[in-house]
Chains A and B, each alone.
Chain A
């Protein structure tokens, strides 16, 4: 069964450094998402991406964040200058173009630790 994959599984970085989190969505999906989950808190929407552009973003997704689909398979989230409060699990998700009424399929996540 096709799965969303994410790398790395765990990323440790120093405050102020740039990080890139990578995702490979399910191959025939065209809607892509990033969510995050701070330890002990709920899953929160960051950004959605369709047709090579951002379709919606939350207030968390400020100028320090960017997303890119550099080729036909990868979907990346970049944080330019990490802060302590960016420490969280980051989940990528994808959705088919039709059917499934918005069912999103999540990857296993990247645990980001900012020191």
Chain B
């Protein structure tokens, strides 16, 4: 069956450093992959989408890579700030692309 895995352990980093989060998937070949941010008690907020034919995508301090051979996406936040502290979710289109299947998310904490 299809599986999406993200590091379940929280990631603690110092302000100014680069945070790198991992999303691995199995038994699936998605046409694209998305990253969302979720704050406690709030809904997911869309950050970035990367297509299967794109190796890398950037938006301000965010960078996403997509390796369809390894079945992995990496999500980077450069020059991290305490305001970046949140849970980051990886999501893939499934069921013909009509719905999203989410990973469990990785909690990021940026410390001063």
Selected contact of A109 from candidates B32, B43, B95, B105, CB within 8 Å: B43
Of the candidate stretches B20-28, B45-53, B74-82, the one touching chain A is B45-53
Interface string of B79-112 (1 = CB under 8 A from A): 0000000000100010111111111110000000
Q: Could you tell me if A42 and B43 are in contact, using CB atoms closer than 8 angstroms?
A: no
Q: Min CB distance, B33 to chain A, in Å? A: 10
CB closest residue in chain B, given A91: B43
5 contacts between A and B (CB under 8 A): A48-B98, A101-B32, A102-B34, A106-B45, A109-B43
4 further A-B contacts with Cβ under 8 Å, apart from A4-B43, A31-B98, A45-B100, are A42-B89, A43-B44, A45-B101, A102-B97
Bin chain B's interface residue count. Answer: 20 to 34
B residues at A contact (CB < 8 Å): 31-32, 34, 36, 38, 41-46, 49, 51, 89, 93, 95-105
Complex Cα distance, B96 from A31, in Å, reads: 14
Complex Cα distance, B44 from A106, in Å, reads: 6
Residues of A within 8 A of B100 (CB): 45, 102, 104
Residues of B within 8 A of A41 (CB): 104
Residues of B within 8 A of A4 (CB): 43
Complex Cα distance, B97 from A56, in Å, reads: 11
Size of the chain A interface, CB-CB below 8 angstroms: 25
Complex Cα distance, B93 from A100, in Å, reads: 12
A residues at B contact (CB < 8 Å): 4, 31, 33, 41-45, 48, 55-56, 89, 91, 93, 100-109, 111
Complex Cα distance, B96 from A44, in Å, reads: 16
Given A101-B31, A101-B32, A102-B93, check contact A45 B99 (CB 8 Å). Answer: yes
Residues of A within 8 A of B41 (CB): 89, 109, 111
Given A105-B46, A106-B43, A109-B41, check contact A42 B104 (CB 8 Å). Answer: yes
